[in-house]
Amino acid sequence: MTWGVLAQVGSAIPTSSWELIQSTDPVTKAVLALLAVLSVMSWTIVLAKWREFARVTTASRTFMQGFGFAQGMADVTTLARKGGASPFAQVLARAERFMSDTRPAMAATTERSARFSASQVEALRLVLDSQAEAERDQLSRYVPWLATIGSASPLIGLFGTVLGIIQSFVGIATSGSGSVSSVAPGVAAALTATAAALAVAIPAVFAYNIFATRLNRIEGELEGFGSELIALLVREERI
């Protein structure tokens, strides 16, 4: 009789992670499933943005290296066409559209060509700053989701942990004793929810910080490029 009871208790104790998950209550299963969905979302965003940042970084580095050797706007325009799509090429294109759509306030004379006024040059700078922010916003798409996942996952895991502890107390109340066999399943479920939450949150937070740093650096480089572009236009006496 004693051996039969021990065999039943031993068979009820989960021996693997999958059996442990199956032994939890439906609410805990739902918490773990939600964490799994968040993990898939997080890694999808990380991999997609990593590829995008790698492509943009390569194109931008090539463009800026060529820009350092450019003799004038014609060289810069040719470089942008050959280099493909990049945030710097978009800022250059925005500057060219502004110049083609804006009539110089200072008419041409026999001594100089038509020039932009100080207010028009300031407007050009504001336009370039706005384009730089637009490029940053474009690159930052879905990145805030990593911060949301990184901050929400521990709370969701904590909810699963509390449910596991409750399950342990229910096991104690059902068995009438605080034996390991009655407490272990609930504690194991609680620790599983905690571990799953950390496994989701840690990569998401790391990736968000890395991408946020890259975005800030790219935005600063775009603003510096806008100033250099205006300086080049001044040297060519186009503004």
**Within a domain: residue 5?**
no
In a domain, 92, yes or no: yes
How many domains is the chain built from? 1
Q: pLDDT at residue 172 above 80? A: no
Selected residue with higher pLDDT from 213 and 71: 213
Residue 190 domain-assigned (yes or no): yes
Cα distances from 4 to residues 13, 81, 191, 214, 221, in angstroms, run 15, 80, 30, 63, 74
Q: What is the DSSP letter of 155?
A: H
* Each residue's pLDDT tens digit, 10-35: 445 555 666 666 666 777 788 889 99
Two structure tokens written together for 63:
């463009």
Give residue 179's domain range.
25-103+112-235
- The answer as to whether 212 is a domain residue is yes
174 lies in some domain: yes
Q: Whole-prediction pTM value?
A: 0.79
Burial class (CB in 10 A: 0-12, 13-18, 19+), 238: middle
Q: Is residue 231 part of a domain?
A: yes
Tell me if 12 is assigned to some domain.
no
Residues 105-143: tens digit of each pLDDT: 776 666 667 778 788 888 999 999 999 999 999 999 999
